[in-house]
């Protein structure tokens, strides 16, 4: 699945039916899956996601006033807001595009009103960042409508602010960054503090990225996610009594943690241990991916999953089940849970000839172990966000 803007034709028909005119602008932004580097982003660490070929498309036309009329095609919902309206909507779906408008204007970008229809095929609730895709796509179309040159890193920063401060979900910057700056055939190694990034070629010929949705969907803005962040912040505060120059767990080495673990309670030790070792795994995985060292990548993915399960305690029985089924299937290089946890999806790197075998194993074993069915998405690393003029 490599065709981009594939939803534009259907969205254009919906736009013409609703607004009685043709759209003149289009934007697309993909979802993502994180290969490794989980719960490190808000600890100023490193992540290594890829954009996936499932995307959100927006078609739009500028208005002469400062109103934004939205049609969420997939949801069958419609809403209108004014560009100067900074009060978050009660409807969660509306907050994402509205938050982008608010945060772009706070960044001193002069916007124009829009009529817009959007939709796509990024699975919602599967830890594949459908919300970030909506945010990045709308940042692109607002910028195009107002003739604003908005570089990818700025789009990602604005989109993250919209999610954190307007929608109210305390994510890191990874989701928006990979959606804006993904590159076909590459992963993205991102330093979540400096926002320095490097595209890492996926030198694994004949290998697919397989996303396994457990069917257990949990909102990221939940109490357990917030607790993990609070645990990490508390660990930093305590470690700072011995390591005064640290700002986040990204500044703590494994040796630092071992030497000073006595200042932490048991929970803080486990949380910090995951983050510190996951950062090291992510940097090592980038080198292994570029070198085409499949065995090393697989081992690091397994270590990551075990750490998330045992130290960070964000896995779930369903996630453990799909990972165990995958790692027990011949031709699977490695597998791990991905995303915030407590449900959602796992990711595997799989030799192309083994994909059907993995699907069969999941179809047979996962319902037996969980009472559920897994949805499987087979993909390659895709291109990041784009905009274009229509007609």
Task: For residues 7 and 1, give the distance between their C-alpha atoms in angstroms, rounded to a whole number.
Answer: 13
Output the CA torsion sign for 346, 348, 352, 353.
negative
Q: Tell me whether residue 340 is in a domain.
A: yes
Task: Write out the two tokens for 362.
Answer: 């999941």
Same domain, yes or no: 221 and 121:
no
Q: Where are the alpha helices (DSSP H) in the chain?
A: 8-19, 92-106, 130-145, 152-161, 174-181, 223-239, 254-260, 266-291, 294-310, 317-327, 355-370
Number of separate domains in the chain: 2
139-178 per-position pLDDT tens digit: 999 999 999 999 999 999 999 999 999 998 878 899 999 9
- What is the reported pLDDT for 221? 40
Q: pLDDT-based confidence at 124, cuts 50/70/90? A: confident
Same domain, yes or no: 150 and 250:
no
Give yes or no for residue 295 having a pLDDT over 60: yes
Lowest mean pLDDT among 126-140, 213-227, 324-338: 213-227
Same domain, yes or no: 248 and 170:
no
Same domain, yes or no: 173 and 236:
no
Paired with 78 in beta bridges are: 71
Task: For residues 46 and 63, give the distance between their C-alpha atoms in angstroms, rounded to a whole number.
Answer: 41
Mean pLDDT of the chain: 95
Q: pLDDT-based confidence at 1, cuts 50/70/90? A: very low
Q: What is the CATH number of the domain that holds 53?
A: 3.30.230.10
Task: Write out the two tokens for 38.
Answer: 């989980």
Same domain, yes or no: 20 and 51:
yes
Q: Tell me whether residue 151 is in a domain.
A: yes
Q: Tell me whether residue 1 is in a domain.
A: no
Same domain, yes or no: 342 and 375:
yes
Q: Tell me whether residue 73 is in a domain.
A: yes
185-226 per-position pLDDT tens digit: 999 999 999 999 999 999 999 999 999 999 987 654 467 888
Paired with 388 in beta bridges are: 26
Task: For residues 226 and 29, give the distance between their C-alpha atoms in angstroms, rounded to a whole number.
Answer: 27
- Residue 258: CB atoms within 10 A of its CB come to 10
Mean pLDDT, range 103-116, rounded to an integer: 96
Same domain, yes or no: 87 and 189:
yes
Task: Write out the two tokens for 126.
Answer: 């599967």
Mean pLDDT, range 80-98, rounded to an integer: 95
Give yes or no for residue 241 having a pLDDT over 50: yes
Mean pLDDT, range 248-268, rounded to an integer: 97
- What is the reported pLDDT for 354? 98
- What is the reported pLDDT for 115? 98
Same domain, yes or no: 144 and 228:
no
Give yes or no for residue 288 having a pLDDT over 90: yes
Backbone angles phi, psi at 214, to 5 degrees: -70, -15
Q: Tell me whether residue 140 is in a domain.
A: yes
Domain that holds residue 147: 8-201+382-389
- Burial environment of residue 86 by CB neighbours within 10 A (0 to 12, 13 to 18, 19 or more): middle
Q: In the annotation, is 175 catalytic?
A: yes
Catalytic one among 41, 44, 115, 175? 175
Same domain, yes or no: 176 and 252:
no
Same domain, yes or no: 13 and 152:
yes
Percent of the chain clearing pLDDT 70 (strictly above): 98
Query: Strand, coil or helix: what is 154?
Result: helix
Q: Tell me whether residue 157 is in a domain.
A: yes
Percent of the chain clearing pLDDT 90 (strictly above): 91
- What is the reported pLDDT for 169? 83
pTM of the model: 0.93
* Residues contacting residue 68 through CB under 8 Å, at least 6 positions apart: 80, 81, 82, 83, 97, 98, 101, 113, 114, 116
Give yes or no for residue 12 having a pLDDT over 90: yes
- What is the reported pLDDT for 104? 98
Q: Tell me whether residue 2 is in a domain.
A: no
Nearest to 181 by CA among 2, 383, 33: 383
Q: What is the CATH number of the domain that holds 318?
A: 3.30.70.890
- What is the reported pLDDT for 2? 53
Q: Which residue in this structure is represented by tokens 């897994």?
A: 374
| 193 neighbors 44 (Cβ within 8 angstroms) | yes
Q: What is the DSSP string of 345-390?
A: EEEEEEEGGGHHHHHHHHHHHHHHHHSS--EEEEE------EEEE-
Q: Tell me whether residue 252 is in a domain.
A: yes
304-318 per-position pLDDT tens digit: 999 999 999 999 999
Mean pLDDT, range 347-359, rounded to an integer: 98
Same domain, yes or no: 60 and 166:
yes
Same domain, yes or no: 12 and 26:
yes
């Amino acid at each position: 699945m490599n065709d981009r803007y594939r939803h534009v034709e259907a969205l254009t028909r919906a736009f013409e039916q609703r607004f009685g005119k043709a759209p003149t602008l289009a934007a697309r932004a993909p979802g993502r899956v994180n290969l490794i580097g989980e719960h490190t982003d808000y600890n100023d660490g490193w992540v290594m996601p890829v954009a996936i070929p499932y995307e959100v498309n927006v078609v739009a036309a500028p208005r002469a006033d400062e109103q934004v009329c939205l049609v969420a095609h997939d949801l069958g919902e419609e809403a209108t807001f004014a560009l100067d309206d900074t009060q978050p909507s009660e409807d969660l779906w509306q907050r994402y595009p509205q938050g982008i408008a608010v945060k772009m204007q706070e960044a001193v970008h002069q916007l124009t009103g829009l009529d817009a229809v959007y939709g796509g095929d990024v699975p919602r609730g599967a830890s594949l960042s459908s919300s970030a895709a909506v945010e990045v796509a709308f940042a692109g179309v607002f910028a195009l409508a107002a003739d604003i040159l908005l570089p990818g890193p700025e789009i990602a920063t604005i989109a993250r602010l919209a999610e954190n401060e307007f929608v109210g979900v305390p994510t890191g910057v990874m989701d928006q960054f990979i959606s804006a700056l993904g590159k076909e055939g590459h992963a993205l190694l991102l330093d979540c503090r400096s926002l320095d990034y490097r595209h890492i070629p996926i030198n694994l010929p004949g290998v697919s990225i397989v996303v396994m949705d457990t069917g257990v969907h949990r909102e990221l803005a939940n109490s357990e996610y917030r607790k993990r962040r609070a645990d990490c912040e508390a660990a930093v505060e305590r470690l700072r009594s011995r390591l005064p120059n640290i700002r986040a767990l990204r500044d703590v080495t494994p040796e630092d943690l071992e030497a000073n673990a006595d200042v932490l309670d048991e929970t803080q030790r486990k949380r910090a241990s995951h983050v510190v070792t996951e950062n090291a795994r992510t940097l090592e995985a980038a080198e292994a991916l570029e070198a085409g060292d499949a065995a090393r990548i697989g081992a690091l993915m397994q270590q990551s999953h075990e750490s998330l399960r045992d130290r960070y305690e964000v896995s779930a029985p369903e996630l453990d089940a799909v990972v165990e089924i995958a790692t027990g299937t011949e031709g699977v290089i490695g597998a791990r849970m991905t995303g915030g946890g407590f449900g959602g999806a796992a990711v595997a790197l799989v030799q192309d000839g083994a994909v059907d075998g993995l699907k069969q194993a999941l179809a047979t074993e996962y319902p037996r172990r969980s009472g559920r069915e897994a949805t499987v998405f087979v993909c390659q690393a895709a291109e990041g966000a784009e905009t274009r003029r229509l007609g």
